Amino acid sequence: MTTIDPSIGTDRARAIFDEELAGVASAAALQELRNRWMARSGSWVAAFMDLIARATPDQKKALGRGANELKKHVEVALADREAALSATRRPAGAVDVTLPGRAPRLGCRHPLSLVREEVGAIFSRLGYQVLEGPEIEDDYHNFEALNMPAEHPARDMQDTLYLANPLTPASYAPPTRGLAPRAPQPLTLLRTHTSAMQIRQMERHDPPVRLVAIGPVYRRDNLDLTHTPMFHQVEGLVVGRGITLADLKGTLTSMAAALFGPATRGDESARSGQAPLVRFRPSFFPYTEPSAEVDIRCIRCGGEGCPMCKRTGWLEILGSGMVHPAVFEYVGYDPDEVTGFAFGMGIERVALLKWGVEDIRLFYENDLRFLEQFGR
């Protein structure tokens, strides 16, 4: 520490002060520094005052100005440092606020459950009732009433899993209308589609109908990248006077936009706002006529063509059509009075596309490293 010697001049003294201040790290050291420079006696400032007192009148003015500037500088610098020090001072009982909090563990949602809920919410908003139904079905509701009588070749489209021993329904309320057998039917199979719920609902309720049925379905498909023997479907059905295929297109357009968000809408300016979001390709299902496979504009490239859409600009998403008049006859609706549309979409398919999952089997492994990617 430099000996107090005002003869070195205020400029030099000021440099010494700055050096000493830089070495101060605690409130105590700061107080010591303050005393050494500002105390009424024995400090640097006091020494300069003595020097001024003893100076000649013409020296006094210059010395006085220099000493005042030094004093002011020291005061300001000390105050600044004090403020800075007090800002980092920990009060009694202080905690390290940067340590992690004691957070209760939160579980993660399953992606299929997220899509299921989202689809349900979209259609609830559109005024649909959301239904679930039995997973073990009778042949009548899964096939026959959907215009697939025994030996219908379309039954080959869905390889069915059968029960070793048919079950008898626990409770049975015969349908009030339609061609359904009035006696309980043996439950012989795992439903191959949620379409069975269409029949169950229609044979008990008058039109109009506006429903989605969601849940697991089963087919005898071997496990691979794109197939699992159990998967989830959402089935939509709207029946009433004057329902058209164009209504189906509008409904599915709205669903696609809600489900896939801005990605599906793509770059509006680039596509001049006119390009459709969904595309219908004629197809065949025994329970709809006309029938259509529905594609959505590729959610990755917006239709330009990319590996995800195999350079077609379109992604296949669901099967649909106008309810076959024969189905209406099975459930006791008059096909001359009402028309309707129906669609069936794979929940896994939506999830695969939405999150770019490449192996459908991941949905059934329940690996936390996978599930944790879908948020909480």
Partner 1 sequence: MKVLLSWVREFVDIDEPAEAIGRKLSLRGLPLEALEPMSDDALMDFEVTANRPDCMSVAGIAREIAVVYGLPFRAPHSAWPEAGASPSPAAAPPIRISIEAPDLCARYVGAVADVTIGPSPAWMADRLNACGVRPISNVVDITNYVLLELGQPMHAFDHARLAGPAIVVRRARAGETLRTLDGKPRALAADMLVIADAERASAIGGVMGGAESEVSASTRRIVFESAWFKPQSVRATSRALGLRTEASMRFERGADLTAPAVAMARACELLSQLGAGTAGPLLDVYPARHQPAVLFLAQPRVEGLLGMHVPDAEIVRILEALGFGVEPVPGGWSVVAPGWRVDMHRDVDLIEEIGRHHGFEHLPATFPGVQQAPAPSDPRIARDARARRVALAAGFSEAISFAFIEARHAEPFQGGEAPVALANPLSEKFAVMRPSLVPGLVGAVSHNRRHGRRDVQLFEIGTRFSARGETRAIGLAWTGLATPDHWSGGRRDVDFFDMKGVVEQLASLFDVEISARAPAEGSVAEAVLVPGRAAVLVSGDRSIGWLGQLQAAIGDAHDLPANDVVYVAECDLDALSAAVAPARMTTPLPRFPAAVRDIAMLVDESLSAATVRGTIRSKAPSTLVGVTEFDRYQGKGIPDGKVSLALRLTFQSLERTLTDSEVEAATTAVVDLLTSELGAVRR
Burial of residue 245, with CB atoms counted within 10 A of its CB: 0-12 exposed, 13-18 middle, 19 or more buried: middle
Tokens of 273: 């706002």
Which 280-299 residues touch partner 1, going by CB under 8 A?
280-284, 286, 289-292
Q: Are 278 and 294 in contact (CB under 8 A)?
A: yes
The C-alpha atoms of residue 86 and residue 89 are separated, in whole angstroms, by 5
Q: Are 309 and 300 in contact (CB under 8 A)?
A: yes
Which of these segments, 34-42, 47-55, 127-135, 258-266, binds partner 1 (CB under 8 A)?
127-135
Residue 374: closest CA among 355, 349, 352? 355
* Cβ distance to partner 1 smaller for residue 81 or 324: 324
Report which DSSP code applies to 275.
Answer: S
Q: To the nearest whole angstrom, how small is the minimum distance from the Cβ of residue 105 to partner 1?
A: 3
The C-alpha atoms of residue 283 and residue 279 are separated, in whole angstroms, by 12
* Cβ distance to partner 1 smaller for residue 37 or 328: 328
Return the residue matching tokens 């500002």: 38
Q: To the nearest whole angstrom, how small is the minimum distance from the Cβ of residue 270 to partner 1?
A: 20
Q: To the nearest whole angstrom, how small is the minimum distance from the Cβ of residue 357 to partner 1?
A: 14
Which 58-87 residues touch partner 1, going by CB under 8 A?
none
* Cβ distance to partner 1 smaller for residue 286 or 302: 286
Which 316-345 residues touch partner 1, going by CB under 8 A?
322, 324-326, 339, 341
Please tell me whether residue 3 adopts helix, strand or coil conformation: coil
Which 226-265 residues touch partner 1, going by CB under 8 A?
228-230, 238, 240-247, 249-251, 253-254
Binding of partner 1 at residue 97 (CB under 8 A)? no
Which of these segments, 10-18, 52-60, 97-105, 173-181, binds partner 1 (CB under 8 A)?
97-105
The C-alpha atoms of residue 198 and residue 180 are separated, in whole angstroms, by 13
Binding of partner 1 at residue 362 (CB under 8 A)? no
Binding of partner 1 at residue 124 (CB under 8 A)? yes
**Binding string, 162-201, against partner 1, x = CB under 8 A?**
xxxx-x-xx-------------------x-----------
Query: Binding residues for partner 1, how many (CB under 8 A)?
Result: 96
Please tell me whether residue 128 adopts helix, strand or coil conformation: coil
Residue 43: closest CA among 103, 87, 1, 92? 1
Tokens of 89: 């001072």
Q: To the nearest whole angstrom, how small is the minimum distance from the Cβ of residue 142 to partner 1?
A: 15
Q: To the nearest whole angstrom, how small is the minimum distance from the Cβ of residue 368 to partner 1?
A: 5
Tokens of 28: 């105590």
Binding partner 1 by CB under 8 A: which of 69, 267, 359, 372?
372
Residue 193: closest CA among 166, 238, 155? 155
Which 7-26 residues touch partner 1, going by CB under 8 A?
none
